[in-house]
Every structure is written in C-alpha cells, then in structure tokens.
Amino acid sequence: MNNNEKYIHANTRTSHKRLESMVLYALHYRLRNVLIHSQFPVLVPGADAVYYLDAYLPALKLAIEIDEPHHDRQVERDAEREDNVKEILGCEFRRIKCDQSIYVQVDQLVDHVNKRVAEEKIESWVHQPVRSHFKSGDYSQRHIDELELNGIPDLVDALAAELSSEGNDVSPGGVGGIPNPGNGELGFLVRRCGMTFAFYARKTGRVNVRVMDIHASVPDCVKNRLVKRQPKNRPRPRFYALPDNANGYKDAETAKTKYYEFIALAESSANAQ
C-alpha cells in the first residue's frame, strides 16, 4: 500500500451501517487524492456534546451525511443538527439519500468535488508519515521492531494528522519524559485550551492521553475534573489523567472521543467565564 492507502486503511471508520460503509468506500476509491475523514467530531460550543459527521473533507470544508432509512423519523432533528454544523464549521453540507440510487448520488458528489478542486486549485492530498522519531537514537532496535511490527508508527502518524486537521496544535516531542522512548512509547503533543496533552502508544496499540501542563488561565472547574497521577514526593503531579482516570484506551478512536469530551467541557467552561 502507498502512504495514502495506509492512512485510509488506518482511519476509515463507520458506524457499522452497511449503506454508510458502501458510500464511504466508494468515495475513498473515487477521491483517492482528497483527504476524507470519517466519523469526524464537531464540538458544540456551550454544550457538553459532540456531533459525528459521516464524512468531512477539510480541504473543501465539505460535510457529508448518509441518510439511512431511520433518518425519515428524525427530519427536524437532522435539519437542526445540519444548521449547527454549518455554523460551527462554516462548511457546505451534502446528503446521500439511501432511498435513491446511491452510486448515482456518489457520482454526482464526486463530480462536484472534482469541480471544486479544479476551480479552487486545491493540491492533491499526499499523506507523509513522520518517522523522524526513530532517527533520534532514543529508541532501542527492539522497541523499533516491536512498534513497526504492530503498526504503531502508522497509527500514531494518522492520529496526529487527524487531530491537526481538526484544528488542534500538534507537535512532535514530549514533556517530562512522556512519551518515554526508553519504554517503547511513541507519540506527540497537542496544545489546546491552555493545556498540553501527550498522546502516545506502546506496542499493544492502546492509546494513552495525559495532561502534562496546565496554564494558570484554565478555570478551576476544569482542572478539578482531571485526576492527579504519580504525585509522590513531587511538588506537583507528574501528569493528569482525563476525568475517567483510564490508564489507556483500546484504540485511537476511543482516545479521541474521550479527549474531545474533555475539550468540550473545557471550552464550554471557558465561554461561561
């Protein structure tokens, strides 16, 4: 697989609905040079809520929803949600109606995307994995072999690219020895809402999210939701866990969900100040 295909393989998620999967696979096949996020999270300002779009093309600010049969029973709710998403993202919105020919609609959508790409001179998407972490000499060959055998570099690179495209300030490196190359931990830092988060994984593929730094401007009601970890004989904890106090999450999607739940809380609290 080339790097784009590896990224698509690692990051294509659906809600396990067959028609939704059918549309997404068709779009990925027809639009291989355009980045398509699936189950894209949209934070709702002022509310402890996250919307998940079936697909989102960040280069075009284009949201796509696949209306399976059950959507006929929630037309008003879908319209309200669509209006909210348009306002939050400033995006165009397209729907695929599953009671009509799906592939005809996919063809129309692909033509629309290609036209916009040409008119707006949008460059082709090329995923470029960052592997410089292994060139630093901080990782033993054993850890490198274990991480690569289990696909962790691809997982970490794809997660970093996703978070960056969703408006997070993502950078390589660590804080206070986290992530720790000596323990075979591979990850990156995210700065948002006055806090620095460390995302990292070991060979098992479980994804950890730690809060490493908290700016003084972060409200106490946000700080107090975090869980102090490894405080012994230190003037302050080594790091903080998210409110659920989990030691790690089973996959990148779960880690992202928990991270965005906390970000929604932090942003709504900041807006209330």
Which of 154 and 107 is assigned the larger pLDDT? 107
Over pLDDT 70: what percentage of the chain?
88
Domain stops at, among 76, 93, 119: 119
Over pLDDT 90: what percentage of the chain?
51
In a domain, 125, yes or no: no
Task: Identify whether the C-beta of residue 153 lies closer than 8 Å to the C-beta of residue 129.
Answer: yes
Strand duo 169-171 + 186-192: pairing = antiparallel
Instruction: Give pLDDT, residue 49.
Output: 66
Q: 37 with 97, same domain?
A: yes
185 in helix, strand or coil?
A: coil
Instruction: Give pLDDT, residue 26.
Output: 94
Q: 250 with 214, same domain?
A: yes
Q: 143 with 261, same domain?
A: yes
In a domain, 124, yes or no: no
Q: 114 with 10, same domain?
A: yes
Q: 176 with 261, same domain?
A: yes
Q: 138 with 268, same domain?
A: yes
Mean pLDDT across the stretch 210-223? 92
| pLDDT tens sequence across 142-186 | 999 999 899 898 889 888 888 887 778 888 888 989 999 999 999
Give dist(CA 13, CA 191) in Å, integer.
25
Residue 92 has pLDDT above 90, yes or no: yes
Instruction: Give pLDDT, residue 272.
Output: 59
Give dist(CA 157, CA 7) in Å, integer.
9
In a domain, 126, yes or no: no
Residue 73 has pLDDT above 80, yes or no: no
Q: What are phi and psi of 63, to 5 degrees?
A: -100, 140
Q: 136 with 267, same domain?
A: yes
Into how many domains does the chain fold?
Answer: 2
Domain stops at, among 69, 91, 119: 119
In a domain, 127, yes or no: no
Q: 141 with 34, same domain?
A: no
What domain range includes position 39?
Answer: 3-119
Task: Identify whether the C-beta of residue 113 lies closer than 8 Å to the C-beta of residue 34.
Answer: yes
What's the pLDDT band for 135 if we cut at 50, 70, 90? Answer: low
Q: 192 with 236, same domain?
A: yes
